[in-house]
Amino acid sequence: MTIRAAITGWGSSLPVGRVTNADLESRLDTTDAWIVERTGIRERRVAAQGETTASLGAAAGNAAIKQAALSPSDIDLLIVTTATPEQPMPETSAFVHDELGLRCGAFDVGAVCAGFTYALITGAALVSTGAHDHVLIVGSETYSRIVDPSDRSTAILFGDGAGAVVLSRSSADGPDGGPGVIAWDMGCDGSGAALLEVPAGGSRLPTSAETLAAGKHWMRMDGQEVFRRAVRCVVDSGKATLENAGMGPEDVDLFVPHQANTRIIEAAANRLGIPLDKTFSNLERYGNTSAASIPIALTEAAEEGRLHDGDLVLLSGFGAGMTWATVLLRWGAP
Ligand code: UT7
């Protein structure tokens, strides 16, 4: 039997706190009209004090385990992906593991906004070897803790939240190959590392009074260049993934891209040849939640009845690094 990894559970956790464009207008040199026209975002969620990457991630993970009709003891691997970790050490997965009461191995996969698709590929590959039956993948972020509130080019974009999926062992033996991950593509161009970064707090530039005074612990971004590269890599990686599977854009039932900017999503969908009515977006309500955006979007798409058994779903992540990864899967339980 050829083993595939199918998504059998999904869930999300979003803080109740909201920051609308009107809130931002009142404290930054920006306007609701500019933000909506250039990004498509109208509001984003913000974690309250005490709400953290691990607590949001555990809540999303718990929802996904329940949706899969499993219990925590059924999970045999946890993979967490985040660019806003609970602490510098240990990995956020340790905290999520503890909160969920898991008894399996756990580790973090880091690829910033491409983290979810990177983690999904990692989990699917491990399920496909037969090593694990149920892998929980959690994408969780609290960007409000690393975004400079006075930087209008980033403060308008990012939001907090978490999403999770359970990947379960499935069989690829069937008329359409059965549900699960079919093909993927992943890549990185490390020469673009400085385009989107938190410069200090690591080995290269350890925390000091100077780094704090210079604001080097905030995230900074060259938005225009990230934008250009994002469209290019979503399109190239999407095409490569479809080609690997021997399929074309006309086969895709739902395209769920990383939610960064409506103009990126629309440009990429157009160039890929996927119509916008088959492209999912909830950007206007949550902004860019980085590694959490795709599992939050998948959860909403499932809840809205936009995913049916047998549907072909294309997931596309891209982010700092620069990193990108695309996954093609067939929706449905084994
Ligand atoms: O998750 C992956 C990581 N991130 C991304 O995917 C983000 C990719 N980049 C973007 O989404 C866009 O580049 C931004 C939304 C960040 C910016 O949009 P843009 O259309 O690239 O604007 P721009 O940077 O070219 O700026 C255009 C103008 C500038 O003024 P001048 O030089 O024309 O006078 C900016 O200073 O808009 C100004 N501007 C703003 N004005 C009002 C920049 N930010 C704002 C703002 N409100 N918030």
Nearest CA to ligand 1 atom 35: 153
> How crowded is residue 191: how many other Cβ atoms within 10 Å of its Cβ?
9
Residues with pLDDT less than 50, the chain: none
- Residue 288 is a catalytic residue: yes
Any atom of ligand 1 within 6 Å of the Cβ of 30: yes
Dump pLDDT digits (tens) for 245-267.
999 999 999 999 999 999 999 99
pLDDT at 333: 87
Any atom of ligand 1 within 6 Å of the Cβ of 114: no
- Residue 104 is a catalytic residue: no
Answer yes or no: are the C-beta atoms of 280 and 302 closer than 8 Å. Answer: no
pTM of the model: 0.97
pLDDT at 132: 96
CA 267 / ligand 1 centre spacing (Å)? 16
Torsion on CA atoms 80, 83, 87, 90, rounded to nearest 10? 40
- Residue 270 is a catalytic residue: no
CA 98 / ligand 1 centre spacing (Å)? 40
Give the E-state strand segments of the chain in sequence order. 3-13, 17-20, 43-46, 77-81, 105-108, 134-142, 160-171, 180-188, 196-197, 220-221, 254-257, 312-319, 323-330
Ligand 1 atom closest to residue 293's alpha carbon, by position in its atom list: 1
Any atom of ligand 1 within 6 Å of the Cβ of 150: no
Structure token pair of residue 233: 């890599």
pLDDT at 58: 98
pLDDT at 23: 97
Structure token pair of residue 189: 């161009």
Any atom of ligand 1 within 6 Å of the Cβ of 167: no
pLDDT at 54: 98
CA 139 / ligand 1 centre spacing (Å)? 26
**Local structure of 328: helix, strand or coil:** strand
Is the peptide bond prior to 90 cis by the omega test (within 30 degrees of 0)?
Answer: yes
DSSP letter string, 5-40 = EEEEEEEEE--SEEEEHHHHHTTSS--HHHHHHHH-
* Helices 32-39 and 262-272: angle between axes, nearest 10 degrees: 20
The C-alpha angle 117, 121, 122, rounded to 5 degrees, equals 115
pLDDT at 38: 97
pLDDT at 39: 98
pLDDT at 177: 80
Structure token pair of residue 93: 């997965």
Any atom of ligand 1 within 6 Å of the Cβ of 239: no
Is the peptide bond prior to 322 cis by the omega test (within 30 degrees of 0)?
Answer: yes
pLDDT at 171: 84
